[in-house]
């Protein structure tokens, strides 16, 4: 099974695809980010996310998409654009008939670290250890996407 984890955003969408056979072991397929240009109209940025994500999903052919479910957001200025990006991501997965599973940050952290209020550094450390990464992604969005994909694997 290939799980495609997504951390939604308007400026950066982190993604990580992992393959698992037995729920105890997973192999990294790919990871990266979709980045949109600041200053562009929101419609242009949303279209870029859709277009790039569609290409990725068609290439990777995941069995499922796991995405962060936003239940609380600290920065109200970016809340609506992130929700719009999340909507585009959900729509793109639906267009390609890929089932979507949603997990709150609290659940992802609980599954990965055993503590729902874990820090970014604790999540990063556990992602690197769990996936045996020799190279650490520089963007937190990619780390979060890997954590979301791993969370889904543990929920199977």
Active site residues: 7, 68, 141
> Please, are residues 82 and 8 in contact by the beta-carbon 8 Å criterion?
yes
> Please, are residues 146 and 127 in contact by the beta-carbon 8 Å criterion?
yes
Q: How far apart are CA 81 and CA 49, in angstroms?
A: 12
CB neighbour burial string for 97-121, b if at least 16 within 10 angstroms, e if fewer: eeeebbbebebbbbbbbeeeebeee
Question: Inter-axis angle of helices 105-113 and 120-130, to 10 degrees?
Answer: 50
Q: How far apart are CA 72 and CA 114, in angstroms?
A: 21
Q: How far apart are CA 146 and CA 139, in angstroms?
A: 11
End-to-end CA distance of the chain: 11
């Amino acid at each position: 099974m290939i799980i495609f984890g997504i951390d939604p955003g308007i400026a950066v969408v982190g993604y990580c695809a992992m393959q698992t056979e037995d729920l105890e072991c997973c192999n990294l397929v790919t990871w990266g980010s979709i980045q949109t240009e600041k200053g562009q109209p929101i419609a242009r940025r949303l279209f870029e996310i859709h277009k790039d994500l569609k290409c990725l999903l068609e290439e990777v052919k995941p069995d499922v998409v796991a995405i962060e479910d936003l239940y609380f957001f600290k920065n109200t200025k970016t809340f609506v654009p992130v929700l719009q990006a999340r909507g585009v991501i959900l729509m793109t997965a639906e267009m390609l008939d890929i089932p979507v599973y949603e997990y709150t940050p609290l659940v992802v952290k609980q599954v990965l670290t055993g503590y729902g209020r874990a820090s970014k550094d604790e999540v990063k450390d556990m992602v690197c250890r769990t996936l045996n990464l020799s190279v650490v992604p520089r963007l937190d969005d990619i780390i979060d996407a890997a954590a979301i994909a791993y969370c889904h694997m543990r929920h199977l």
